[in-house]
Amino acid sequence: MSKKLILKTAEEIEEIRKSSLLVGKTLAEIAKLIRPGISTLELDKVAHDFIKDHGAFPGFLGYHGFPNSICASVNHAVVHGLPTSNALKEGDIVSVDIGVLWNGYWGDSAYTFGIGELKEEVEKLLEETKASLYKGIEQAVVGRRIGDIGFAVQSHAESFNYGVVRELVGHGVGKNLHEAPEVPNYGRRGQGIALTEGMVLAIEPMINLGTKNVRQLKDGWTIETHDGKPSAHFEHTIAVGKNKAEVLSSFKEIEAVLSAKN
């Protein structure tokens, strides 16, 4: 990625927050509907219409030719899965990744949903992948480096012997969905570029129950684990802060819906 690193003004960060919060609201709509029997193609339509109804654009649609509004990656699919008409089943997990483009600024966030009762090891994979995201976010403060984020994510995930995907990384977010810098989910403390105010990053651990190795399917999009074991993915768009990162996207509405369902 030879992309430019573009620092954002406070006003721009507010625009990115707006887009990012709409992603969270859209994911909460999906949370309401997700259950055994529904297809990811149905969820795609709901997300598409919900975003459009807010006067925003589901930015993944047509992005490098991507055919849908959400990425839906089921079980051993890691990311970039294409929505299908297959019914989700009890015990499945599905990472839903959404990008919103609104007033010229992107928001990018992803959440992995469990369908009904999950195997204990899969439930734990989801929990700890989300925890690894917050470990990474803790490091996104002025004075730290990109490697500190990756180190924090990796150490947390590997303490459970999970595989940390190397081929796909987080990224800067702004007027473009993918800007510099790359934000790997692995790394060494104190390495990489220094974090400064005005940096807006998508941090997105992709964590596998088994091997870290992945491959791309012939559909040209879906990335799946090499050993067929499940993979989880959580993503927030954040702004680097002086003492604390500011999380611009939100899981609050998603989790309110999920806890009301249980």
Residues within the interface to Mg ion (CB under 5 A)? 97, 108, 110, 202, 235
Least CB distance from residue 1 to Mg ion, whole Å? 12
Q: Can you tell me which residue has the tokens 């047509």?
A: 62
The CA distance from 104 to 18, in Å, is 11
Least CB distance from residue 129 to Mg ion, whole Å? 14
Nearer to Mg ion, 15 or 235 (CB): 235
Nearer to Mg ion, 20 or 154 (CB): 20
Neighbouring C-beta atoms of residue 189, cutoff 10 Å: 14
> Contact at 8 Å (CB) between 119 and 91?
yes
Least CB distance from residue 171 to Mg ion, whole Å? 6
Least CB distance from residue 235 to Mg ion, whole Å? 5
Q: Per the structure block, which two tokens stand in for 56?
A: 């925003």
> Contact at 8 Å (CB) between 19 and 105?
yes
Nearer to Mg ion, 87 or 176 (CB): 176
Extended beta strands in the chain, E state? 57-58, 70-74, 77-79, 93-102, 105-114, 163-164, 170-172, 179-183, 200-203, 206-208, 214-216, 223-225, 231-233, 236-239, 246-247
Nearer to Mg ion, 1 or 261 (CB): 1
User: How far is the CA of 191 from the CAs of 132, 167, 183, in angstroms?
Assistant: 19, 19, 12
Least CB distance from residue 253 to Mg ion, whole Å? 17
Nearer to Mg ion, 227 or 246 (CB): 246
